[in-house]
Chains A and B, each alone.
Chain A
Amino acid sequence: MQRYDDLTELLLQLGDSAMVQAQRLCELVGGAPALEEEVALMNVGLDLVGQARNWLEYAAERINDGRTADDLVFHRDQSDYRNLLMVEQPNGDFGVTMAKQFLFDSWHYAMLQSLSDSSDERIAAVAAKSLKEVTYHLRRSSEWIKRLGDGTDESHTRMQAAIDKVWHYTFEFAMPAEYLAQLEADRVVPDASSLHQRWIGTVTSVLSEATLVQPEPAARNYLSGKDGLHSESLGYILAEMQFLPRAYPDANW
């Protein structure tokens, strides 16, 4: 596994998380519970692909070995992906899809808020742009958590089961990210140490309004997206996403 400087690692974590989440959303084309929902899920995915491109173009420039953002997406293996474990988990039912989306959105929002004040101008520009879009994503996923959690007995049970199912992967949001310490000191990620607190604040308030039980803090385990130690799910995502450019390397739009 290749390890880059802290700033590049951060760009890969942001870009890869947005990309993998977008790819998961795209699986729902033709399979969402309602047409309006499908349009919304794809719009969120589209925003995330655009954001991934902005982060990964910067990462590619810093890596500077001739690879483009496209090469990073289509020609890296899973141990070189830095995405959060949460976004690679299977979509499951609509409750699980929304639980993952909400938990990711609330982390993403807190992270982008911090990055909007980054001392790195390019990061600040991409973050401020993305934050507008992610504010919208978070509002929408929060509404679904509340509507399903505080809905019928059936929807409540399933929404609680969905939160419990994926909650485990939130340990990454809480991890004392050693690699962020220097970036925080350099004000590249100004509020890194309050990130977890701001994230859990949003989660607690939405889950309580949704009449859902907030699980105990998730325990850390041997997996770690930022170290390229992924669950088995990522391999399947990459196999589908990378098939065409790998089988037909000259393929172009």
Chain B
Amino acid sequence: MPTGDLIASDQPAADPQAIERAWHVLDEVMDPEVPVISLTDLGIVREVEWRAGQLRVVLTPTYSGCPATEHIELSAKSALTDAGFEQVQIEQQLAPAWTTDWISERGRERLKAYGIAPPVGSAAKPSFDKIIECPLCGSSNTKEITEFGSTACKALYQCNDCLEPFDYFKCI
């Protein structure tokens, strides 16, 4: 084993529990534009590990032009610093490209409770007749108003029964 590895694993912070703790911290950091879903629920935290005495966190952006990318990076870093991690390095990784298939079950429930219809189906196996349920009344009688909503990740729908407009988290 190279000497470097021994030094890294000798550091008190490098225990597996610390990694688990870091995941918990990131689980409390909310998306700035959809503040009910955490970074881990969104599936954008790709890796958390120790490297050369630093906590290395790999994030992936949702959309190429998502203006929240830098904000998310900053809030992840400050949450980890506040939790006692001194050396934190955040990296962005593009491949494999983020997909809504990585949103957790809990994340989907939280989106729905917040009034945003979660992505329907799987991006890996696209289907054309998706039924988007109204997150407010549960009706499947809904229509698309426009393919783009208030943020890049959402489309605008309306319920034909309760007549309320609602956001749909696009399946990509």
Q: Which residues of A contact B (CB under 8 A)?
A: 36-37, 39-40, 43-44, 46-51, 53-54, 121, 124-126, 128-130, 132-133, 136, 139-140
| Cα–Cα distance between A44 and B146 once the two chains are bound (Å) | 13
**Contact yes or no, A129 B64, CB < 8 A:** yes
Q: In the complex, which residues of chain A have a beta carbon less than 8 angstroms from the beta carbon of B148?
A: 36, 39-40, 43-44, 140
Smallest CB separation, B17 vs chain A (Å): 33
Q: In the complex, which residues of chain A have a beta carbon less than 8 angstroms from the beta carbon of B96?
A: 128
Smallest CB separation, B31 vs chain A (Å): 16
- Give the dominant DSSP class at B's interface: loop
Contact of B95 among A50, A53, A121, A140 (CB under 8 A): A121
**Contact yes or no, B94 A133, CB < 8 A:** no
**Contact yes or no, A133 B147, CB < 8 A:** no
When each residue 97-108 of chain B gets 1 if its CB lies under 8 Å from chain A and 0 otherwise, what string results? 111000000000
**Contact yes or no, B63 A133, CB < 8 A:** yes
Contact of B65 among A39, A47, A140 (CB under 8 A): A47
In the complex, the number of residue pairs spanning A and B with C-beta atoms less than 8 Å apart equals 70
**Contact yes or no, B64 A47, CB < 8 A:** yes
Q: In the complex, which residues of chain A have a beta carbon less than 8 angstroms from the beta carbon of B99?
A: 132
Q: In the complex, which residues of chain A have a beta carbon less than 8 angstroms from the beta carbon of B121?
A: none
Q: In the complex, which residues of chain B have a beta carbon less than 8 angstroms from the beta carbon of A49?
A: 65
**Contact yes or no, A132 B152, CB < 8 A:** no
| Cα–Cα distance between A139 and B97 once the two chains are bound (Å) | 20
Smallest CB separation, B58 vs chain A (Å): 13
